[in-house]
Amino acid sequence: MEEIYSIVSQFHFRNELWVLFIPLGLMAIDILTGIIKAWAQNDFKSKIMRAGLAKKAEEILILIAGELITFGLMLPSVIMNGVSFYIIFMEGMSILENVDQLGIPIPKFVKDVINNTNEQLQNGPKHKEEE
């Protein structure tokens, strides 16, 4: 836990507006790459898109709530930086998943990270001798 705090506490934005703009920009890119992926795979479903947009709306509300709580209670900016960092990481991974599914080459070590299934996440990584 101390390592995570160290990473987040050293993570600084150029100014306070970027705490909101970077996650929002990445959300927009994620939506676009998701639409492009669905269109390219001929798998466009409005139900999936609505669920994705609802998730993005929830992330935006989390950002706004974090910003209000941080400034309203005069909490350290490291809290909002952590919230923003988490959303940036999540959106970045989602964009990489979309790009990977479109067939655009990405490095193997990145592909291994983004292609974890729920089973792998719950049971831990497989070791070479187990395969």
Q: pTM value?
A: 0.74
Check residues 89 and 113 and name the one with the higher pLDDT.
89
**Structure tokens that stand for 54 in this block:** 């609802």
Q: Where are the domains of the chain?
A: 22-115
Strands (E), 56-124: none
User: How far apart are alpha carbons 96 and 109 in whole angstroms?
Assistant: 12
Q: What is the pLDDT of residue 126?
A: 56
Q: What is the pLDDT of residue 123?
A: 58
Among the ranges given (45-49, 95-99, 106-110), the one the predictor scored with the smallest mean pLDDT: 106-110
Q: Is the pLDDT of residue 108 over 90?
A: no
Q: What is the pLDDT of residues 11-47, one digit of tens each?
A: 667 777 788 899 999 999 999 999 999 999 998 888 9
Q: Which DSSP string do the residues of 25-68 spell out, in sequence order?
A: HHHHHHHHHHHHHHHHTT---HHHHHHHHHHHHHHHHHHHHHHH
Question: 11 — alpha (psi -120 to 50), left (phi > 0) or beta?
Answer: beta
3-class SS of residue 42: coil
